[in-house]
Amino acid sequence: MAQAEKYAWVSLITTGIIYWYFQMRMLDGWEVVDQSPSRLLWVFGTVVAMFIIAEGVVAGFLASKGSDGEIEKDERDLDIDRRAEQNASWFTIAALNVLIFQLIAQDAFEGHSFTRFDASSTSTLFFLLFSIVIISSIVHRISTLILYRRPLRSA
């Protein structure tokens, strides 16, 4: 298994754990718990710090096993990374568009009953937007792992 592929596996697991922690801090069942701005800032800072530490530890550990003290990457690894990044971008664009559509639909069809969220709540918006960021990172890792198993032709 290529080092870049191992990195994707470990990074996927750590991202999953961090997202689980984030949900624990923000959700009560399926409901987003309203929290004070200082509490939200603390959650934001903790999650970002967890990402930086986890990525640093994983990258450092794999780099120490590489010949030049770096994670070995060649043109195929970079090609796969570029395509995975593209998939993550598509996910982010799609998710943001769904969010925008939902916001407009909530106002446009006020009388109708469908799943709604409180757009005036900072906690809800923070949870949704930060979830998109984290899930896009998960999409990136999963795409990487899938692309390593598929035949790859030059773009």
Partner 1 sequence: MIAKKKPPKGRVNNEIRALRREAGLTQQDLADHVGATRQTIVAIEQGKYAPSLELAFRIARAFARDFEDVFQFNPEG
Footprint on this chain of partner 1 (rule: CB under 8 A): 1-3, 5, 72-77, 150-154
Nearer to partner 1 among residue 4 and residue 18 (C-beta): 4
* Count of CA atoms in the C-beta half-sphere (13 A) of 15: 20
Q: What is the SS3 assignment for 28? A: strand
Nearer to partner 1 among residue 75 and residue 110 (C-beta): 75
Nearer to partner 1 among residue 76 and residue 116 (C-beta): 76
Nearer to partner 1 among residue 78 and residue 98 (C-beta): 78
- Cβ 153 to partner 1, closest distance in Å? 5
- Cβ 150 to partner 1, closest distance in Å? 8
Residues 149, 115: Cα–Cα separation, whole Å: 38
Alpha helix locations (H) across 27-121? 37-65, 75-108
Q: What is the SS3 assignment for 144? A: helix
31: which strand partners?
28
Interhelix angle 3-26/75-108, nearest 10 degrees: 20
- Cβ 9 to partner 1, closest distance in Å? 14
Q: Which of 131, 135, 136 is nearest to 44 (CA)?
A: 131
Amino acid in the structure at residue 154: S
Nearer to partner 1 among residue 6 and residue 25 (C-beta): 6
